Chains A and B, each alone.
With several copies, the nearest count.
Chain A
Amino acid sequence: MMFHEYKNVIEDGDTVIVYLNHNSMSPLKVEAGQVYNNRFGTFKHDDMIGLKYGSKVVNKDGKGFVFLLHPTPALWTQVVPHRTQILYLPDISFISLYLDLRPGKIMIESGTGSGSFSHSIARTIAPTGHLYTFEYHEIRAQTARKEFIEHNLTDVVTIEHRDVIANGFGKRNIADAVFLDLPAPWDAVAAAKDALRKDTIGRICCFSPCIEQVQRTALALDEHGFSEIRMYESLAKDYEIRNIPQPDIDEVIDGQRVSFKPVKSDKKKRKLENDSACSGTDTDANGSTVKELTVTKPTDVVRGHTSYLTFAILAPEEGDDIDMSE
Chain B
Amino acid sequence: MEAEAAAAAAAGTVQLERTVIKAGDHVIIRMPSSNTKIVCIRADTTVSLGKFGSFNANALIGHTFGHTFEIVQNGQIQPHHQPGFDAADITAANNQTIVDDPKSQKLSFEEIEGLKKQSLMGAVSASEIISSLTANNEAFAHKTEFSKSKYIRRKQSKFNKCFVPLETTAYNLCDFFFSVNMQKTRGIRTDTLAQMLALVNVYAGARVLCVDDGQGLLVGALLTRVLDQGCVLGVHDGDVPNYDVLRYVNEPTDGRLKTLAWSKLKYQQPAFAEPELTASASENDVLGRARRLRGHQKLADTLAELRSGDFDALVVSTKYAARKVVDRLLPYLGMSRMVVVYDQCKEPLTEVLAWMRDSHMFVNVQLSEGWLREYQVLPSRTHPTMSTSGGGGFLLSAIYVGGSV
A302–B387 Cα distance when bound, in Å, is: 6
Closest to B237 in A: A259
Beyond known contacts A96-B194, A210-B383, A303-B387: 10 more, CB 8 A cutoff: A6-B336, A19-B399, A100-B170, A176-B16, A210-B381, A227-B68, A237-B369, A252-B262, A253-B262, A304-B387
Closest to B16 in A: A104
Closest to A127 in B: B204
A259–B191 Cα distance when bound, in Å, is: 30
A213-B90 in contact (CB<8A)? yes
Known contacts A6-B334, A249-B325, A300 near B390 by CB under 8 Å: yes
Q: Which residues of B contact A306 (CB under 8 A)?
A: 386
Closest to B21 in A: A324
Most chain A C-beta atoms within 10 Å of own C-beta, residue among B15, B78, B225, B388 = B15
Q: Which residues of B contact A209 (CB under 8 A)?
A: 383, 386
Known contacts A214-B377, A304-B384, A320-B78, A92 near B198 by CB under 8 Å: yes
23 cross-chain CB contacts under 8 A: A5-B204, A22-B363, A72-B201, A93-B199, A106-B16, A136-B94, A176-B16, A184-B91, A211-B383, A231-B374, A231-B375, A244-B345, A252-B320, A262-B319, A293-B348, A299-B390, A300-B182, A301-B389, A302-B390, A304-B384, A305-B386, A305-B388, A325-B62
Most chain A C-beta atoms within 10 Å of own C-beta, residue among B8, B65, B193 = B8
B94-A70 in contact (CB<8A)? no
Question: Which residues from chain B sit less than 8 Å from chain A, CB to CB?
Answer: 1-2, 4-5, 8, 11-16, 18-20, 59, 62-68, 76-79, 82, 84-85, 90-96, 99, 164, 167, 169-171, 174, 182, 190-191, 193-195, 197-199, 201, 203-206, 221, 224-227, 237-239, 262-263, 265-266, 310, 312, 318-321, 324-325, 328, 334-338, 344-348, 350-351, 353-355, 357-358, 363-375, 377, 379-391, 399-401, 403-405
Q: Closest 4 CB pairs between A and B?
A: A304-B388, A298-B390, A54-B336, A54-B335
B4-A160 in contact (CB<8A)? yes
Question: Which residues from chain A sit less than 8 Å from chain B, CB to CB?
Answer: 4-6, 8, 19, 22, 25, 52-56, 67-70, 72-74, 89-90, 92-94, 96-98, 100, 102-106, 120, 123-124, 126-130, 132, 136-137, 139, 155, 158, 160-163, 170-171, 174, 176, 183-184, 197, 199-201, 209-216, 218-219, 222-223, 227-239, 241, 244-250, 252-253, 255, 258-260, 262, 270, 272, 274, 276-278, 291, 293-306, 308, 310, 313, 315-316, 318-320, 322, 324-325
Distance in Å from the Cβ of A315 to the closest Cβ of chain B? 4
Q: A277 contacts which of B59, B338, B354 (Cβ < 8 Å)? A: B354
A325–B13 Cα distance when bound, in Å, is: 27
Most chain B C-beta atoms within 10 Å of own C-beta, residue among A161, A184, A201, A230 = A201
Distance in Å from the Cβ of B355 to the closest Cβ of chain A? 7
A120-B354 in contact (CB<8A)? no
A313–B164 Cα distance when bound, in Å, is: 12
B334-A8 in contact (CB<8A)? yes
B324-A248 in contact (CB<8A)? yes
B367-A239 in contact (CB<8A)? yes
Q: Which residues of A contact B62 (CB under 8 A)?
A: 324-325
Known contacts A222-B84, A228-B66, A295 near B348 by CB under 8 Å: yes
B368-A183 in contact (CB<8A)? no
Q: Which residues of A contact B364 (CB under 8 A)?
A: 19, 22, 25
A90-B195 in contact (CB<8A)? yes
Q: B336 contacts which of A69, A201, A277 (Cβ < 8 Å)? A: A69
Q: Which residues of B contact A308 (CB under 8 A)?
A: 375, 383
A245–B321 Cα distance when bound, in Å, is: 8
A277–B323 Cα distance when bound, in Å, is: 11
